[in-house]
């Protein structure tokens, strides 16, 4: 796998692309669609209850990479979608609303103070408003699905929404348990993060009328990209730079969140090290210097490096899933988006 990651980096430079992979080529090719998505988002956040658009816009308007709706419009275009209607735009908006609703609820559950480098909605308006506006965005997303008028698409997105909720609950019951197996962690991130990436790409193929191998390939592309994306996120919580992260380094540690770096360091550590993890993560008894100690132990056992290595493995599977599509600029940009997800901020 190590060889493969070097090969990927070589491909990027051989094709004459910029040294560090970027989302820009994909954003440029989908710019018109994404401008429409932004307009649709604003239109669908409207409500006579002023707090709703105010709070929703604080999160949805805070930038973010819009990777999930970008996947929907890119997948639709890759499958040759050229209809004059805006069903792909409505689906992309729906995907962003599902994502935003889960973020609003997530930040309340995690008692997070920052989101995308700004105070989180719950820090500004309180938990109750955040949960309720999250509910509003969820219900708006279902209105959008109904507008699109496909029962099959409704099925995919509603199942994804259920899976995300299951992932949240699974994470809750595994919380602060240092003996969580890697397989359980993978199950959590597949449900919490990757499933929406998978559904976002899959419905793009569906709205373009591709219900065979292309649909399966794009679902696989989204799923593997989503897993890689989350693995990188979890590694960056210990190895990232705050300026590029948009959140505080060490948040996962302070919340006692069980992520792959912790699982690997716990499994590889001696008894005294396991006691450290039990004290800091399970009991949340954290003292001055504990984060530095945690980083040192993660480094000692190669836990961050191996988390990135696993991300590259899933990234390779995402790239391979697009193999059945003909080579064109959009496909190249989607492949580069995989490299961007893995190479960002390190």
Alpha-carbon distance of 213 to 78, in angstroms, equals: 13
Q: What is the pLDDT of residue 242?
A: 60
Place of tokens 């080529």: 25
For residue 119, give the DSSP letter.
E
- Say if 1 falls within a structural domain: no
Cβ contacts of residue 340 below 8 Å, gap of 6+?
Answer: 21, 22, 23
* pLDDT above 70 for 138: yes
- Say if 2 falls within a structural domain: no
Number of domains in the chain: 1
- Say if 334 falls within a structural domain: yes
3-state secondary structure of 129: helix
- pLDDT tens, 154-190? 999 999 999 999 999 999 988 889 999 999 999 999 9
Q: Summarize the chain as % helix, strand, coil (round to 5).
A: 75, 0, 25
* pLDDT above 90 for 3: no
**CATH code, domain carrying 64:** 1.10.600.10
Cβ contacts of residue 158 below 8 Å, gap of 6+?
Answer: 142, 145
- Say if 197 falls within a structural domain: yes
Q: Could you tell me the pTM of the whole model? A: 0.91
Containing structural domain, residue 96: 8-343
Alpha-carbon distance of 298 to 300, in angstroms, equals: 6
- Say if 3 falls within a structural domain: no
Q: What is the pLDDT of residue 110?
A: 84
For residue 279, give the DSSP letter.
I
Backbone angles phi, psi at 118, to 5 degrees: -120, 165
- pLDDT tens, 46-90? 999 999 999 998 888 776 779 999 999 999 999 999 877 899 999
- pLDDT tens, 253-304? 998 999 999 999 999 999 999 999 999 999 999 999 999 999 999 999 999 9
Burial class (CB in 10 A: 0-12, 13-18, 19+), 248: middle
> Residue 237: which of 311, 315, 345 has the closest Cα?
345
- Say if 49 falls within a structural domain: yes
- pLDDT tens, 271-283? 999 999 999 999 9
- Say if 77 falls within a structural domain: yes
**Residue 113 — pLDDT band, cuts 50, 70, 90?**
confident
Q: Which two tokens mark 29?
A: 């090719």
- Say if 205 falls within a structural domain: yes
């Amino acid at each position: 796998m190590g060889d493969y990651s070097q090969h990927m980096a070589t491909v990027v430079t051989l094709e004459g692309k910029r040294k560090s992979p970027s989302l820009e080529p994909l954003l440029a090719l989908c710019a018109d669609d994404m401008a429409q998505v932004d307009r649709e988002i604003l239109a669908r956040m409207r409500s006579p209850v002023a707090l709703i658009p105010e709070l929703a816009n604080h999160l949805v308007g805070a930038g973010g990479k819009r990777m999930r709706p970008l996947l929907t419009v890119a997948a639709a275009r890759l499958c040759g979608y050229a209809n004059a209607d805006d069903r792909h735009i409505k689906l992309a908006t729906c995907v962003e609303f599902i994502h935003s609703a889960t973020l609003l609820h997530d930040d309340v559950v995690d008692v997070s103070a920052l989101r995308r480098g700004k105070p989180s909605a719950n820090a500004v308006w309180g938990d109750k408003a955040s949960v309720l506006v999250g509910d509003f965005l969820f219900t708006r997303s279902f209105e959008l699905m109904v507008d699109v008028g496909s029962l099959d698409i409704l099925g995919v997105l509603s199942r994804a929404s259920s899976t995300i909720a299951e992932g949240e609950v699974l994470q809750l019951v595994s919380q602060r348990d240092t003996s969580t197996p890697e397989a359980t962690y993978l199950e959590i991130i597949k449900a919490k993060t990757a499933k929406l990436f998978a559904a976002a790409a899959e419905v793009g193929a569906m709205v373009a009328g591709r219900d065979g191998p292309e649909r399966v390939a794009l679902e696989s592309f989204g799923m593997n990209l989503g897993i890689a994306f989350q693995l990188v996120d979890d590694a960056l919580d210990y190895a990232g730079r705050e300026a590029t992260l948009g959140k505080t380094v060490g948040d996962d540690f302070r919340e006692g969140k069980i992520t792959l770096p912790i699982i690997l360091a716990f499994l590889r550590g001696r008894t005294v090290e396991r006691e450290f993890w039990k004290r800091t993560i399970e009991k949340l008894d954290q003292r001055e210097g504990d984060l530095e100690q945690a980083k040192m132990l993660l480094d000692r056992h190669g836990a961050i490096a191996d988390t990135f290595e696993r991300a590259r493995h899933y990234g390779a599977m995402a790239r391979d899933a697009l193999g059945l599509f003909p080579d064109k600029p959009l496909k190249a940009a989607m492949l580069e988006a995989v490299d961007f997800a893995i190479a960002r901020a390190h």
